[in-house]
């Protein structure tokens, strides 16, 4: 028997997948807050990470020759060093407060991506270290470490192929480390199949719509939906605290 929670997971994954295919951003920003609302923070993040790992591997296989190894290592070391202790520290914090924090982090990341202005201080090695650390903390908290790295890439003005390959080379091991640190599912493993089905459905729908929608409209819609999802997560956490 299909439960409402199954449908919620399916819809969340489908929405994130569709906007990722159509606009190039959005899976984590949209799916993470929705899945956290449906399954709780840790299991929601686990599903986001598992799907992200598959997507990272597929994209990396096609763009590995464009990877900038030095930048990948400079981003990955601080991220990996921070993500494991961050997972354990966050695990001891009251769940509703973490829900508010996760929603606020995704909302802040959405605003940064929407703002779209490169930050010149990210150009040096210090910028890579700070970016990696911020991405690791966000990945541990929400499963979404993309916004700081998107700004880092924008500041360096990399060609699209280089940005795509280097980001996957960074996020693939980071997501694996985070998933291992989180440990096994609590209750949500039975929902993984629904999430995978949602990703497939969303991708198929997106491919059917590809080329028919304005890129500007898609980007704005993606960021607006991500913002609404994150705000809902904040509201849900605040309600649980009251």
Q: Is the pTM of this model over 0.85?
A: no
Q: State pLDDT tens for residues 87-135.
A: 888 887 877 888 888 888 888 888 877 877 666 777 778 888 988 998 8
Tell me the pLDDT of the chain averaged across its residues.
84
Q: State pLDDT tens for residues 147-179.
A: 888 778 877 888 878 888 898 899 999 999 999
Contacts of 233 (CB under 8 A, 6+ apart): 33, 36, 37, 99, 100, 102, 103, 106
Separation of alpha carbons 3 and 19, rounded Å:
25
Length of the chain: 242
- Can you give the pLDDT at residue 190? 81
């Amino acid at each position: 028997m299909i439960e409402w929670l199954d449908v919620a997971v399916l819809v969340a994954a489908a929405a994130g997948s569709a906007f990722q295919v159509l606009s190039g951003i959005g899976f984590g920003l949209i799916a993470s807050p929705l899945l956290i609302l449906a399954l709780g923070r840790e299991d929601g993040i686990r599903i986001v990470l598992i799907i992200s790992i598959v997507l990272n591997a597929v994209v990396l296989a096609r763009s590995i020759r464009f990877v900038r190894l030095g930048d990948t290592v400079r981003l990955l070391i601080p991220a990996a060093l921070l993500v494991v202790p961050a997972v354990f520290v966050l695990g001891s914090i009251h769940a509703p407060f973490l829900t508010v924090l996760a929603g606020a982090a995704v909302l802040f990341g959405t605003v940064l991506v929407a703002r779209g202005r490169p930050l010149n201080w990210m150009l040096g090695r210090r910028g890579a270290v700070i970016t990696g650390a911020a991405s690791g903390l966000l990945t541990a908290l929400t499963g979404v470490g993309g916004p700081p790295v998107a700004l880092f890439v924008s500041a360096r003005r990399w060609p699209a192929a280089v940005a795509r390959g280097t980001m996957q080379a960074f996020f693939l091991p980071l997501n694996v480390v985070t998933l291992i640190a989180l440990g096994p599912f609590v209750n949500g493993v039975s929902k993984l199949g629904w999430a995978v089905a949602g990703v497939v459905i969303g991708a198929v729908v997106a491919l059917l719509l590809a080329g028919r929608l304005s890129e500007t409209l898609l980007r704005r819609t993606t960021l607006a939906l991500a913002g609404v999802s994150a705000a809902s997560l904040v509201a849900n956490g605040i309600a649980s605290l009251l």
